[in-house]
Amino acid sequence: MTVDDLIAYGKSKVHSDLAKMLLADLLDMNSLELFMILDKEIEDRIVYEYKRRVSELREGRPIQYIIGNVNFFGNKLLVDERVLIPRFETEQLVEETINRIKTKFGDKEISIIDLGTGSGAIGLTLKSKLPNVKVTLLDISTDALDVAKTNADNLGLDVEFIHNDMLDNINDKFDVIISNPPYIRTNEKIEDIVRDNEPRIALFGGEDGLDYYKQILKEVSNNIKENYLIAFEIGDLQREAITNLVKDYLPNAKVECLKDLSNRDRMIFIYN
């Protein structure tokens, strides 16, 4: 079969863009380059693998898990069913955090901890863009930490890892604490493809979706330096509730909320 034949086959089964993404990944090129080799004959083993992947996609497996990686902020990260698939909104959180770190700390050698790191997307991106900082990646899941360690190795980034339940019994102090914790309400309806594939431990944050914000903020005063920045990704209806939690645990802190590109409340920054 030719590239053109395979694209036609894929398009008959799944969305055209996804069909091209699957084939381009197998051929180690981008989707646009496929149109330069439409007449190229593809060996049988790749044809078989392509059709297998198309079948997995039809059965509801996320394309990121099928391909096995995502591009996050320019870094290629391994992802599979052990970790949450990084979203574009989280890229925005990282970008806004980098801007605030540069403004607040300049070129100082600060320390950052990424709580609930998953694939390491947040912490590893911060380390890659701010090489002078010390970054620690923390997760309660040893499976997730294995993925994050692989990504750190693949990117050649020197970071530390902690297997722990958020800040419980952590005594170190940090300049920056950042987290995209599980914040979906237990009974909240979500897409089947998310519910059926991504790890529940990385999705659900209790009855009101706030369990992990409460857990972090309850302990955080023991783990922040005098001049600190805390950055959270949040659910789009959680701004008021989390702001009130901050007032309870850090009454003198300033709170800033930013919207994502869909104009939904998505990020909260807390600082002194």
pLDDT tens readout for residues 242-262: 999 999 999 999 999 999 999
Instruction: Tell me what pLDDT residue 221 has.
Output: 96
Q: Could you tell me the pTM of the whole model?
A: 0.94
Interval 115-124 mean pLDDT? 98
Instruction: Tell me what pLDDT residue 227 has.
Output: 96
Say if residue 11 is in the same domain as residue 132. Answer: no
Say if residue 214 is in the same domain as residue 98. Answer: yes
d(CA 54, CA 59): 9
Task: Return mean pLDDT, the chain.
Answer: 97
Interval 196-205 mean pLDDT? 96
pLDDT tens readout for residues 65-101: 999 999 999 999 999 999 999 999 999 999 999 999 9
β-bridge pairing 174-179 and 265-271: unpaired
pLDDT tens readout for residues 27-63: 999 999 999 999 999 999 999 999 999 999 999 999 9
CATH number reported for the structural domain that contains residue 248 in this entry: 3.40.50.150
Instruction: Tell me what pLDDT residue 44 has.
Output: 97
14 lies in which domain range?
3-59
pLDDT band at residue 120 using 50, 70 and 90 as cut-offs:
very high
Interval 224-245 mean pLDDT? 97
Can you spell out the DSSP letters for 76-111?
A: EEE--TTSPPP-HHHHHHHHHHHHHHHHHHTT---E
Interval 210-227 mean pLDDT? 97
Say if residue 111 is in the same domain as residue 231. Answer: yes
Q: 9 in a domain, yes or no? A: yes
Query: Into how many domains does the chain fold?
Result: 2
Instruction: Tell me what pLDDT residue 128 has.
Output: 97
* DSSP character at residue 252: T
Contact indicator for 5, 44 with CB cutoff of 8 Å: no
Q: 79 in a domain, yes or no? A: no
List beta partners, residue 229.
176, 271
Contact indicator for 145, 158 with CB cutoff of 8 Å: no
Q: Token digits for 123?
A: 């912490």
Q: 72 in a domain, yes or no? A: no
Say if residue 157 is in the same domain as residue 32. Answer: no
Instruction: Tell me what pLDDT residue 190 has.
Output: 95
Say if residue 173 is in the same domain as residue 220. Answer: yes
Using CB atoms within 10 Å of the CB of residue 195, give its burial: 0 to 12 exposed, 13 to 18 middle, 19+ buried: middle
Say if residue 207 is in the same domain as residue 142. Answer: yes
Instruction: Tell me what pLDDT residue 56 has.
Output: 97
Say if residue 185 is in the same domain as residue 259. Answer: yes
Using CB atoms within 10 Å of the CB of residue 32, give its burial: 0 to 12 exposed, 13 to 18 middle, 19+ buried: exposed
Say if residue 167 is in the same domain as residue 49. Answer: no
